[in-house]
């Protein structure tokens, strides 16, 4: 049963293609061109009422019935539950996965996303304040991740959906104007993940 992935070539989209590849789930990409406003189409809004990508449709959902899911964090948790992979079984081991997944959703995504916005502005006066504010906060978040990865291979113990979520945004570090050499633990973690064949397939998947 092939999962339908409604997405575009963005960090949030890459989170899901990487997870699907790591979990060895068959999927089909259905591009939603956000540069043309396709995320506002009524058909897509039925799947994602917040008109944001990604969304998935799993024809083999709970009780064997089709289900649609929006919000990348919810999708990752669903896929982890569905497969029993990259999401620990015990609650005590799940807690750091939840923490670091929410850290990504609430900070290491919205803040670099603002960098993406302001860096694209042509008017230097418009760019200056936003870039100063959000680039500083983005670097602070890289520092939080750097400290977390001290002496750890992955953010929450074993490799988990939290790593996939964070990787989707760390993938854009050149666009954040962040040199990973400044954050050696993040650099090590990033290179280990990017060397995984399934991660490479997820990153190479055509999403647009």
Which strands make up the sheet holding 67-70, listed edge to edge? 27-31, 3-7, 55-58, 67-70
Mean pLDDT of 118-135: 84
* pLDDT number for residue 160: 98
121: confidence class by pLDDT, cuts 50, 70, 90: confident
Q: What is the Rg, in whole angstroms, of the alpha carbon atoms belonging to the chain? A: 17
Nearest to 207 by CA among 40, 53, 104: 53
* pLDDT number for residue 123: 82
Would the CA dihedral through 90, 190, 178, 16 be positive or negative? Answer: negative
Omega cis (within 30) before 100: no
132: confidence class by pLDDT, cuts 50, 70, 90: confident
Nearest to 166 by CA among 112, 114, 204: 112
Mean pLDDT of 39-65: 97
Mean pLDDT of 86-104: 97
The two structure tokens encoding residue 74: 């919810």
Confirm if 185 and 4 have CB atoms less than 8 A apart.
Answer: no
Residue bearing tokens 């999708």: 75
Cα 147 to the chain's mean position, in Å? Answer: 20
């Amino acid at each position: 049963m092939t999962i339908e992935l409604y997405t575009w070539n963005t960090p949030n989209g890459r989170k899901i293609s990487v997870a699907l590849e790591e979990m060895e789930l068959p999927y089909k990409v259905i591009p939603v061109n956000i540069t043309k406003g396709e995320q506002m189409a009524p058909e897509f809004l039925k799947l994602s009422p917040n008109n944001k990508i990604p969304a998935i449709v799993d024809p083999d959902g709970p009780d064997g019935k089709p289900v649609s899911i929006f919000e990348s964090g919810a999708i990752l948790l669903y896929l982890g539950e569905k497969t029993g992979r990259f999401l620990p079984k015990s609650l005590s081991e799940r807690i750091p996965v939840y923490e670091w997944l929410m850290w990504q959703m609430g900070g290491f995504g919205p803040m670099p996303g603002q960098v993406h916005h302001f860096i694209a502005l042509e008017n230097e006066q418009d760019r200056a304040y936003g870039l100063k504010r959000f680039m500083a906060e983005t670097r602070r978040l890289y520092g939080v991740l750097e400290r977390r990865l001290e002496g750890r291979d992955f953010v929450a113990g074993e490799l988990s959906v939290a790593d996939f979520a964070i990787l989707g945004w760390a993938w854009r570090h050149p666009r954040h104007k962040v040199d990973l050499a400044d954050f050696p633990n993040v650099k090590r973690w990033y290179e280990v993940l990017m060397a995984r064949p399934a991660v490479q397939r997820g990153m190479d998947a055509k999403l647009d």
